[in-house]
């Protein structure tokens, strides 16, 4: 199953936008389905398409390294109403700290050193590691069962071959 991620960022932050776009590219290259917000310069509210994309995504990632725009606040509120807290990741700047308070929610929180390129690259790897699809127990059991079945089949073929040689 392909993991899908909605990544939102503040439209007034070029740094957040650049990191989000790079995550978009890297995510696509690594088999993730990535959504970015549909933004309209004429309206400052969340679009219907963005709501659909948030609903479709397994994960909601928020960049909160600068002051939040009204649109991003709407996207966050919508995500908390439609997703489990454990599927929402908030990214703060190590230099500015937390700038959102979630009194009733417990999202996953990460910090980024947005002044250090090595730290940004490490953050990207850490983020994809965190949202990496985890095979369910049922899938793991299915794979183990298949492996056992193939092993038994190979053993039976070998036994059959050994037995048929002795009969000749």
The answer to whether residue 80 scores a pLDDT higher than 90 is: yes
Report pTM.
Answer: 0.74
CA atoms of 32 and 71, how far apart (whole Å): 25
Q: Is 101 exposed, middle or buried (0-12, 13-18, 19+ CB in 10 A)?
A: exposed
Q: State how beta strands 88-93 and 108-112 pair.
A: parallel
CA atoms of 164 and 26, how far apart (whole Å): 55
Taking only the tens place, the pLDDT of each residue in 10-64 is 988 999 999 999 999 999 888 889 999 988 766 667 888 899 999 999 999 999 9
Class of domain 4-131: alpha beta
Taking only the tens place, the pLDDT of each residue in 108-118 is 999 998 788 88
88 phi and psi angles, rounded to 5 deg: -120, 125
Structure-block tokens of residue 31: 């088999």
Domain boundary assignment for the chain: 4-131, 137-168
């Amino acid at each position: 199953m392909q993991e899908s991620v909605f990544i939102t960022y503040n439209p007034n932050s070029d740094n957040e936008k650049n990191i989000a776009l790079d995550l978009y590219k890297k995510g696509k290259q690594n088999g993730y389905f990535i959504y970015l917000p549909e933004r309209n310069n004429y309206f400052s509210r969340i679009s219907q398409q963005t709501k659909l994309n948030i609903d479709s995504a397994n994960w909601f990632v928020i960049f909160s390294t600068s002051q939040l725009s009204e649109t991003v606040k709407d996207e966050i509120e919508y995500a908390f109403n439609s997703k489990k807290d454990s599927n929402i990741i908030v990214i703060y700047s190590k230099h500015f700290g937390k700038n959102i308070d979630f009194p009733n929610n417990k999202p996953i929180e990460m910090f980024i050193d947005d002044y250090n390129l090595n730290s940004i690259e490490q953050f990207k790897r850490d983020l994809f590691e965190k949202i990496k699809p985890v095979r369910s127990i049922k899938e793991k059991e299915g794979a183990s069962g298949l492996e056992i079945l193939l092993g038994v089949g190979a053993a039976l073929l070998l036994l059959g071959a050994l037995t048929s040689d002795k009969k000749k």
